[in-house]
Amino acid sequence: MTQAATPSMGRGCRAALAFLPALVIGLLALGAPLLAWDQPVACRHEGRWFFPALTAAGQNLPLVGRVVRRPIPFRYPDFDARATLDPAAFALWPPVAFHPDEITAQALSGPSRTHWLGTDDRGRDVASRLIHGATVSVRVGVLATLLAGLIGVAVGAVAGYFGGWVDGLLSRLIEATICFPVLFLILAILAWLSPGVTAVILVIGLTQWTSVARLVRAEFLRMASADYVLAARAYGASAARIIVRHMLPGALAPVVVTLTFGVAEAVVIEAGLSWLGLGVPAPTASWGGMLRSAYEQMRSAPHLVYPPCIAIFVTVIACHLAGAWLRKRLDSAAR
């Protein structure tokens, strides 16, 4: 449903413009500690150089994160860099000098020079939580969409290639999954996993694959009688080889478009689940969780509502822009 609603953009819509917002949000998510952390990006401490926020950002990276370690004094949770560091020594602080989980003395304060977007009900800096919320949203959005894409391509390809009763069975599966409410699946998944990012990724991945599956199935049904497929079959290529090497490349382009829109959908579902208290659990900064605490404090601190709302909106727009541009490119390439 998301896809068709995007109107044709103006002719001046360039690739850079279409992908810039998504790129900015992605970088924000990767480099969150460089922008908001309670330790400096770079500083001199007891005669040595330290890069605590930089290494914290490194820990967020996929794969590399496990190897990166923060320098010793900065690793302790009770190490207070603001009080301990020599004020005369060099220190490059992030623009928002607060940890997302750090509880300050003033709760529910409005925007000010120390707290740009104010503080929430527990006195945590909203700007810092907003920036770190991007990490959760982008991680869930991208990984859940990849999972959905993998399942969708696999189911759609098998259904479209083999047809017959296999197609009938898998089509019923697709139909049933569409009817199946997201809310129940989270129950099932929480039976095996504790609530957290992994559970949310699984829930979204396992429910949102149907549009890709239907797309790939339709493409495969269309391609099944193409000459090159018949030729491959004639010289004895295996089904797996024909699917992966001969047919999949032709069906991949529209899948990429769908997945770009899917990232927006996944981000929205993640925030919604976190709002309901079923997503990313409480102390972790997430946009849905921030929206929830804003909901609970709406009479005393209505200003808390706007930051997460705008963040979610901008992320969705960023994905839609990129998706609309990709689709337009593919459409004109097809013609």
Partner 1 sequence: MWRYALRRLFWGVPTFLFITLVTFFIVHLGPGDPAFVSAGASTGSTELAAEARARLRSQWGLDGPLVERYVRWVGRCVRLDFGRSFHDGQSVRAKLGERFARTALLALAALVVALLIAIPVGAQAAAHAGGWFDRGVGLLCFGLFAIPRYVMGMLLIVVVGVQLRWLPFMGMGSPDAGEMPGIERWVDVARHSLLIGACLCYPLAAYLSRFVRDNVAAVLSEDYIRTARAKGASRMRVLYVHALPNALLPLLTVIGLALPGLLSGAVILEVMFSWPGMGRLMFDAVMQRDYPVILGASALAAVVVLLGTLAVDLLYAAADPRVRYT
Binding footprint of partner 1 on the chain (CB under 8 A) = 1-2, 4-8, 10, 172-173, 175-176, 178-181, 183-185, 187-188, 190-191, 264, 268, 271-272, 275-276, 291, 294-295, 298-299, 302, 305-306, 309, 312-313, 316-317, 320
Q: How many CB atoms lie within 10 A of CB 154?
A: 16
Question: What distance in Å separates the CA atoms of residue 204 and residue 190, rounded to the nearest whole number?
Answer: 13
Q: How far apart are the first and last CA of the chain?
A: 24
Q: Which is nearer to partner 1, 146 or 317 (CB)?
A: 317
Do 127 and 36 form a contact (C-beta atoms < 8 A)? yes
**Spatial distance between the Cα atoms of 232 and 245, rounded to a whole number of angstroms:** 10
51 or 275: CB nearest partner 1: 275
Cα separations in angstroms, 209 against 155, 173, 281: 9, 11, 25
Residue placing its CB nearer to partner 1 in the complex, 143 or 294 = 294
* CB atoms near residue 145 (< 10 Å): 28
**208 vs 177: CA distance, rounded Å:** 9
Contacts for 276-281: CB closer than 8 Å, 24+ residues apart: 278/183, 278/186, 278/190, 278/195, 279/195, 279/200, 280/136, 280/140, 280/195, 280/196, 280/197, 280/200, 281/195, 281/196
Query: Whose structure tokens read 């829930």?
Result: 203
Q: Which is nearer to partner 1, 41 or 273 (CB)?
A: 273
The nearest distance, CB 169 to partner 1, in angstroms, is 9
CB of 241 to partner 1, least distance (A): 32
- Write out the two tokens for 332: 């004109």
Output 187 or 256, the one with its CB closest to partner 1. Answer: 187
Q: CB 182 → partner 1: shortest distance, Å?
A: 8
Shortest Cβ 306–partner 1 spacing (Å): 8
CA separation for the pair 162, 288 (Å, rounded):
42
Beta carbon of residue 180, minimum distance to partner 1 (angstroms, whole number): 6
Rg (alpha carbons) of the chain, rounded to whole number = 24
Nearer to partner 1 among residue 6 and residue 59 (C-beta): 6
Instruction: Pick the closer one to partner 1 by CB: 66 or 299.
Output: 299
- Shortest Cβ 298–partner 1 spacing (Å): 5
- 57 or 318: CB nearest partner 1: 318
Shortest distance (Å) from residue 264 CB to partner 1: 7
Minimum CB–partner distance for residue 12 and partner 1 (Å): 13
Closest approach of Cβ 187 to partner 1, in Å?
5
CB 37 within 8 A of CB 43: no
Structure token digits, residue 240: 């797996």
228/306 with CB nearer partner 1: 306
Can you list the positions of beta strands (E) in 27-142?
42-45, 48-50, 91-92
